[in-house]
Amino acid sequence: MHDLFQVDDLLDAEEKIIREAVTKFVQADVLPIIEKHYENASFPAELLSKIADLGILGMTLPEEYGGSNASHVAYGLVCQELEKGDSGLRSFVSVQSSLCMYPIFAYGSETQKKKYLPAMSTAKKIACFGLTEPNSGSDPASMKTKAVKTEGGWLLNGSKLWITNATVADLAIVWAKIDDTQVRGFIVEKSFPGFSTHEIKNKLSLRASTTGEISLQNCFVPDENYLPGSEKGLSAALGCLTKARYGIAWGAMGAAQACFDAALSYTKARNQFGKPLASFQLIQKSLADMYTEIVKAQTLNLQLGRLMDKNKADYVNVSLAKMNACREALKIAREARNLLGANGISLEYHVMRHMNNLESVFTYEGTDNMHHLIVGRYLTGLNAFS
């Protein structure tokens, strides 16, 4: 894509190298197979070893735990390039890294970090994040899953819904109430009695991503799998979401760039009324508007990444970036679909696949409305959530 404002010059050499490695992976390994997986509603598990070899799982964590001490900007670029391939692939990396490896690193014991993180960084152990429930989405404090202390551990009862990686995961980071208000985190392995999953079928979005439900029926979790740092409560779980939402802001723009590139290429090549579609005024207006929003979001995401690397960003910054990126990416995908005419609905051109995926990305890990309220509360000092 054109770099009118020379944003590339703001990246350091390591960030560019990491980005180019993922770009090559997407071009060589993802795009040739993703149509088949999307159409068949199957997760491209054959890519897991190559993803692990890229070193992008938990990449912002210290090397001793399987990370590479990479910058948040580098991680953002990874998410951007992965989502040029497919949102489901970025979702997998985001869940593994931000929602599962991060809480073990941030809230886990040293023993837990050494036991799980290196294996997760090499995809030898896949994880999922259990927060959302059938009747608890935007209001996680209303969760019904309970954890009751018993000898040597905890008994967990409840269910979690719309969980990425649920049916392929070796472990789950599960959040449960230990009383009417206090929330705690647990590392629940799939081998624990009382833990089961089933896949959600018939999705029209994120079809190349595995989504499921977790059921916990008197599931015994030993004390050594309790996350001690989660004693800060629900904010611990929300801290994981902040990390993941950051990656989504970058990822959504990756999908937007893919749609823009497809629309630009198509309208320059497609002739109507004796000349390329791209020569018409309304087409150029659409392309200029799409490009403008991508550039604006890119620079916003980059500044957010730099702030995160300096520990100067919080959940409000991330909410604004996620809200903006998802909204504009979905608009861009829809406009690109329109510019491609009938070809816009074909998997061959990728655009409608991205558009359908972005319908989920727009909603998950905080709906557009909720992010507006977060920013609104910051601006006014008034809570409009209830």
Contact in structure between 100 and 120 (CB atoms under 8 Å): yes
Contact in structure between 317 and 304 (CB atoms under 8 Å): yes
Report CA-CA distances (Å) from 184 to 102, 228, 366.
15, 8, 20
Classify residue 151 by burial, with Cβ atoms within 10 Å: 0-12, 13-18, 19+: exposed
CA 196 and chain centroid, separation: 24
142-150 LR contacts (CB < 8 Å, sep 24+):
143/175, 143/176, 143/177, 143/183, 144/177, 145/174, 145/175, 145/176, 145/177, 145/216, 146/176, 146/177, 146/178, 147/176, 147/177, 147/178, 147/184, 147/186, 147/221, 148/178, 149/178, 150/220
The answer for residues whose C-beta is within 8 angstroms of residue 339's C-beta and 6 or more apart is: 263, 266, 267, 277, 283, 286, 287
Residue in 15, 81, 213, 365 annotated catalytic: 365
Residue corresponding to tokens 């735990």: 65
Question: Is 365 one of the annotated active-site residues of the chain?
Answer: yes
| Strand, helix or coil for residue 218 | strand
In angstroms, the CA 212 to CA 168 distance is 9
The answer for residues whose C-beta is within 8 angstroms of residue 1's C-beta and 6 or more apart is: 257, 260, 261, 291, 294
| Ramachandran angles phi, psi of 219, nearest 5° | -80, 115
In angstroms, the CA 263 to CA 257 distance is 10
In angstroms, the CA 139 to CA 386 distance is 10
261 torsion bin: left (phi>0), alpha (psi -120 to 50), beta (else)? alpha
Report CA-CA distances (Å) from 292 to 322, 328, 334.
17, 10, 16
Tokens describing residue 228: 């001690």
Catalytic residues: 365
